Amino acid sequence: MRSPALAPLLVLVLGGLPAAASVDDSDWPSYGRDAGGSRYSPLADLTPENVERLEVAWTFRTGELDEARSAKWKSATFEATPILAGGNLVFCSGQQRIFALDPETGRERWRADVARARGVKRADAACRGVASWLDPAAEPGAACRLRILTATLDAELIALDAATGARCAGFGKGGSVDLDRGIAHTERGHYGVTSPPVVIGELVFVGSAVGDNQRTDDSSGVVRAYDVRTGEYRFGWDPIPKNPEDPAFATWEDGSALRTGAANAWAQLSADPDRGLVFVPTGSASPDFFGGERRGENRWANSVVALRAKDGSLAWGFQLVHHDLWDYDAPAQPTLVTVNRGSQKIAAVVQATKMGHLFVLDRESGKPLFPVEERPVPQSDVPGEATSPTQPFPVKPDPLVPQRLRPEDAFGITPLDRASCRKKIASYRSEGIFTPPSLEGSIIFPGNAGGSNWGSVAFDPKSGLLYANTSRVAHVVKLIPRDELDAAREANPGKEISPMRGTPFGMMRDVLLSPLMIPCNPPPWGALAAIDLATGERRFESVLGTTRDLAPVPIPIAWGTPNQGGPIVTAGGLVFIGAAMDDFLRAFDASTGEEIWKGRLPAGGQATPMTYRAGGRQFVVIAAGGHGRMTTTLGDSVVAFAPSKP
């Protein structure tokens, strides 16, 4: 375990302190281990040759499962990745509590309830992690010298003493900053934060989560920076330009930027302290599936942008989807990597997408390192809509997922099942990943939760390989004239139907399943791939997940499953990942993609794991709490695996 003398090293990556210092190999000081989200650990105690020695070392239960059930939180999740801060393993729960554990034993050291209100119906109910910051000006032993920073579903930014869990009195008002303040059009339960903030220098940056498909003038998606000591507001950057003199304003026809909301960064931000840049993945403008009230390219929605950390100004932006109609948010943390081109080493950022595209961009300029082509895409026939004529397609790497579903692709476990899927697919518009929503129904494939999602990717700086897990399940989106919405709700109980107020249409969205409730697209429905970033070539693709916990009988057919959560990679040559809908943590050989170990979890592992060394052993830890929307086994456990003690 790390000695107290090494505690100041804890947040150098997060805090933007001098680059000459380094983080101890055993540490995992921020959500993606480093502020660039590499999810790479230099630990090599565990290898393909000895990983089978892993066993459950300890399990900690938050005690929230019964609470979630009694509150009937169908969307309850436990998606957190712990950090190792000040000798404590610290994480947040979906019920808005912060826990600090002994990393070797799992014994609770403190907990803090940061919820402002309970029983609120929410668009989402996740907390994916916390951040930390060491105050270099504070005396050793001073309260809040090392602090935990969390942003909540209740739209608060909170600072806690890492040693005790007590609120930092000098931060905001009694340790809290109200993030609702200054945000127009917020609705209770539809505006908050689900991802950890990021610290660079003495500023803490925070995005937001906005409920989808509610109305045109939804909550602002402004990204804001606060003084990390005092909580004082410093500045903000709105992905939707409000100043007519901003060049991006012209990409919103008829001044629609002034009456449109969202485009929020709900996924994790990244930071490059050496360059003074913060990287922001932005989402869809409101509402998601009809853009007739926001015609134009809609910059900087659906983009990855670099902000200057000193003042929040735009250094560069790259739009991943023009005029989004598919809920194709930038769903993943921008991952900072180094790309080798011969003897040249290029600082880059990789943005994974729901479409299965990987955009590899120069970190300083935003220019693609592999060509990106603007290709014609299908056009909308919905009255009032104006589809973008083209969309950007990276030439390399190749798409991580299939991007079109045809009737002849239909899958089924019986001939009747397959025939039903074939008929369903033929009845909808299905012309690839940019098939626009329609009145008859359009297939969105690999789906709004497909391709890559918030689990992001992992990058091994030694091999130059990037690891990405993907989901592949088709959805059907149908636009419903407003005067038919009530009838549609009555005729389709249990299906997602959203109002999209301010437009002529509501929206209905559902997974495309066979009569036997099997996805109509062929397996694998989940996979793990390795991409060589030097060449853009795929090194391997492995099936991720089985039917073990999905079928009426526990038969582990290796068809893969949809997944939520991401991978980590270690210097020992292992990729660890949970994420799949069966209840396992898995280890894959980082070179070959062979699955070489799996450990049983008490609930769904829809979270990204992390690893560290304590007491002379390398631990791998994951939150096993399941995911209500995915119908995986619900729980409230944090599970640590380690080799048995000698």
Contact 94, 87 (CB under 8 A): no
Residue of 263, 205, 208 lying closest to 239 (CA atoms) = 263
Q: What CA–CA distance (Å, rounded) separates 299 from 256? A: 12
- On whether the CB atoms of residues 198 and 271 are closer than 8 A, the answer is yes
| Local structure of 10: helix, strand or coil | helix
Tokens 């070797």 -> residue: 104
Query: Do 11 and 63 touch, CB atoms closer than 8 A?
Result: no
Give the SS3 label for residue 180: coil
Asked if residue 251 lies in contact with residue 319, where contact means CB atoms within 8 angstroms, the answer is: no
How crowded is residue 121: how many other Cβ atoms within 10 Å of its Cβ?
12
C-beta atoms surrounding 610 within 10 Å: 26
**Residue from 27, 217, 288, 327 carrying the catalytic annotation:** 327
How many angstroms separate the CA atoms of 80 and 60, rounded?
Answer: 14
3-state SS, residue 615: coil
Count of beta carbons in the 10 Å neighbourhood of residue 522:
16
Angle at alpha carbon of residue 356, lines to 364 and 457, rounded to 5°: 60
Residue type, position 367, single letter: K
Does residue 288 carry a catalytic annotation? Answer: no
Nearest to 638 by CA among 585, 572, 586, 591: 585
Longest dimension (CA), the chain: 72
Tokens representing 580 are: 């799949």
- For the beta carbon of residue 59, count every other beta carbon within 10 angstroms: 14
88: amino acid identity, one letter: N
Residue that the structure tokens 């989940």 belong to: 526
User: Any bridge partners for residue 409, and if so which?
Assistant: none
Q: Tokens 């082509």 sit at which residue?
A: 373
CB-CB neighbours of 230 under 10 Å: 14
If you search the block for the tokens 């949970």, which residue do you land on?
578
Token reading at 631: 């119908």
Nearest to 450 by CA among 424, 474, 430: 474
Handedness of CA 93, 97, 100, 105 (dihedral sign): negative
Sign for the CA dihedral angle at 243, 249, 253, 256 comes to negative
Give the Cα-Cα-Cα angle 401, 407, 408 (nearest 5 degrees): 80
What contacts 499, CB < 8 A, 6 or more positions away?
Answer: 213, 214, 215, 485, 506
How many residues make up the chain in this entry?
A: 646
Amino acid letter at 473? V
- The conformation of residue 406, written as its DSSP 8-state character, comes to -
Q: Just list the catalytic residues.
A: 327
